[in-house]
Amino acid sequence: MVSQLKVTGFSPSSPTVLRHPLLQAIEGTVQVYTSVHRSFFTNVMVQALRTAEQGKPVLIVQFLKGGMDQGPENPMQLGQNLDWVRCALPYCIHEAPASPEARQAVADLWQHTQAVVNKGRYGLVVLDELSLAVHYNLIVADEVVDLLRHRPPQIDIILTGPEMPESLLKVADQVTELRRNIPI
């Protein structure tokens, strides 16, 4: 087998090592799952559970779900490598405009999400119903784009929700649109 490392222009004072392109660190991807109906979350959960089972830490963030006395301070831990956090609300957000309490809960959760992504603690981060949070003006799409572009390179991120903003679709590596019963 031929060595994948090649030393060029070697001098004891300044060696230069060129790496084979296939040996570069594997960069994380941005995946989007979108659908007009909400029946695809099972597919995302399967991917999250599989990733956690393989030893990679996973975070699931549900921006519009509440009712479980969670919030960033009280995440649930499902297994050794899967953390799950929802808004610190006693109810779910179903439409805009949201109450000031809901707006603050989503803002707190978004701030927490940005901080943990930037720390690089998780290998996979699922941002559930993110498109609806953007659509309800609870999260700014440009802030999401900025997070995606400047995250640590090893992190995979999954965005879910209907009507995903075009700016988020443009930065995605993979877009999965689930359709059912669409006339041909």
Mean pLDDT of 131-141: 95
The pLDDT value recorded for residue 24 is: 54
- Residue 124's pLDDT is 95
Q: What does the block give as tokens for 93? A: 């957000």
Question: Per-residue pLDDT for 15 more than 80?
Answer: no
Contact 117, 109 (CB under 8 A): no
**Local structure of residue 165 (DSSP, 8 states):** -
SS (H, E, C) 98-126: CCHHHHHHHHHHHHHHHHHHHHCCCCEEE
- Residue 35, pLDDT > 70, answer yes
| pLDDT band, residue 149 (cuts 50/70/90) | very high
Burial of 136 per CB tally in 10 Å (0-12, 13-18, 19+): buried
- Rounded to two decimals, the pTM is 0.81
State residue 6 phi and psi, 5-degree precision: -130, 125
Token output for 18: 């060129």
| Nearest-angstrom CA–CA distance, 73 and 68 | 12
Please give the pLDDT value at position 5. 38
Instruction: Note the pLDDT of residue 122.
Output: 94
CB 162 within 8 A of CB 34: yes
Q: Does residue 29 or residue 182 have the better pLDDT?
A: 29
| pLDDT score, position 4 | 42
The answer on pLDDT for 94 being more than 80 is: yes
Edge-to-edge strands, sheet with 76-77: 76-77, 82-86, 58-62, 124-128, 156-160, 30-35, 174-178
State mean pLDDT over 54-69: 89
pLDDT at position 38: 64
Task: Name the residue with tokens 């991917």.
Answer: 47
Q: How much is the mean pLDDT over the chain?
A: 83
